[in-house]
């Protein structure tokens, strides 16, 4: 079957440490969250799902993401953790990535877009349009220096079959941001859903504990219902920032099977 030829690699592109209550209702103390990015290899091409932080965050995060965000999220990000460096570490040329699929436009998901320079960017139309709305852009801290960097852009509406064979599908999961999307992969072992920020943690899904700041609470709860239904159908959910990331996704050069 066509999806059995997928290779999927999960990278940890640094960390964010924040008050737990900021990212999950009822959380206590602080939590250190991985920043994942993924490479999906298909016979028709290579796709990257999210790109982590901008390299400028390694030496002066406040200058890049603003004083308020830098105070709220302590960044752990070192040379070699950039998406380009991680691709090169497993022998992949960042300049030969065909598709760049962004879950949404927050700084920890699109900061490395410019490091994958020749890809076509795939994003939900609602997310792109929100980034063009001054009020929405200000509310979400969208920074066009991260995502409006010269890529050819493919705007999609709703579900999108990336390679035309059902093996990689963009799933709209709005709520965290206006046009958030997750990614469903059909591997030999079964379906895997890269939830991104539709679901930060396992407890987000189990207990419906949302982050403090969301674009649309009802929409995010509906997206969690969708993820739960996929899980009941046998899919493995890879949560967006769960500290248990490496228990779900092997470290390169091992691929998800």
Domain around 58: 2-248
Three-state DSSP class for residue 53: coil
Of 46, 37, 1, nearest to 167 by C-alpha is: 1
CA within 13 Å, CB half, 69: 20
Report the DSSP beta bridge partners of residue 239.
196
What pLDDT is attached to residue 2?
A: 44
Question: Can you give the pLDDT at residue 139?
Answer: 86
What confidence score (pLDDT) does residue 5 get? Answer: 82
Going by their DSSP bridges, the two strands 160-161 and 168-172 should be labelled as: antiparallel
- Whether 222 is covered by a domain: the verdict is yes
For every residue of 62-110, DSSP letters joined together read HHHH-HHHHHHSEEE--TT-SHHHHHHHTT--GGG--EEE-S--SHHHH
CATH assignment of the domain containing 186: 3.60.15.10
List the structure tokens of 122: 């795939």
* pLDDT in the model for residue 169: 98
CA distance 47 to 50: 10
- What is the DSSP-derived secondary structure letter of residue 256? B
Structure tokens at 207: 């207990």
How many Å is the maximal CA-CA distance in the chain?
50
What integer pLDDT is reported at residue 4 of this predicted model? 53
Asked if residue 83 belongs to a domain, the reply is yes
Edge-to-edge strands of the sheet including 190-196? Answer: 160-161, 168-172, 181-187, 190-196, 236-239
118 to each of 9, 33, 48, 128, 131, how far by Cα in Å? 20, 29, 12, 19, 21
Residues of the chain with pLDDT under 50: 1-3
The reply to whether 206 falls in a domain is: yes
Cβ-proximal residues to 251 (8 Å cutoff; 6+ apart), any chain: 10, 12
Assess if residue 256 is contained within a domain.
no
Residue 43 lies in a domain: yes
Q: Is residue 136 part of a domain?
A: yes
Number of domains in the chain: 1
253 lies in some domain: no
* Cα 12 to Cα 112: distance, rounded to the nearest angstrom: 13
Find how far residue 217's CA is from the centre of its chain.
19
In a domain, 66, yes or no: yes
């Amino acid at each position: 079957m066509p999806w059995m030829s997928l290779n999927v690699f999960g990278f940890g592109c640094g960390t964010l440490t924040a008050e737990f209550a900021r990212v999950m209702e009822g959380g206590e103390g602080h939590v250190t969250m991985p920043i994942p990015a993924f490479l999906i290899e298909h016979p028709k091409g290579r796709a990257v799902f999210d790109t982590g932080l901008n390299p400028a965050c390694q030496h002066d995060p406040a200058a890049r993401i603003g004083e308020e965000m830098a105070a709220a999220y302590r960044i752990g990000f070192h040379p070699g953790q950039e998406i380009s460096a991680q691709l090169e570490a497993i022998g992949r040329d960042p300049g030969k990535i065909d598709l760049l699929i962004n879950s949404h436009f927050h700084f920890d998901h699109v900061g490395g877009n410019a490091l994958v320079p020749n890809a076509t960017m795939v994003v939900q139309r609602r997310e792109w349009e929100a980034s063009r709305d001054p009020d929405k852009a200000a509310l979400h801290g969208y920074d066009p220096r991260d995502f409006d960097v010269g890529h050819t852009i493919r705007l999609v509406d709703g579900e999108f079959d990336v390679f035309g064979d059902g093996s990689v599908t963009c799933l709209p999961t709005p709520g965290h941001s206006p046009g958030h999307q997750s990614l469903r992969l059909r591997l030999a072992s079964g379906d895997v859903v890269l939830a991104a920020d539709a679901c930060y943690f396992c407890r987000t899904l189990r207990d419906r504990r949302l982050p403090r700041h969301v674009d649309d609470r009802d929409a995010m709860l509906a997206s969690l219902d969708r993820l739960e239904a996929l899980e009941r159908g046998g899919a493995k959910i890879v949560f967006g920032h769960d500290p248990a990331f490496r228990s779900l996704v092997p470290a390169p050069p091992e691929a998800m099977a």
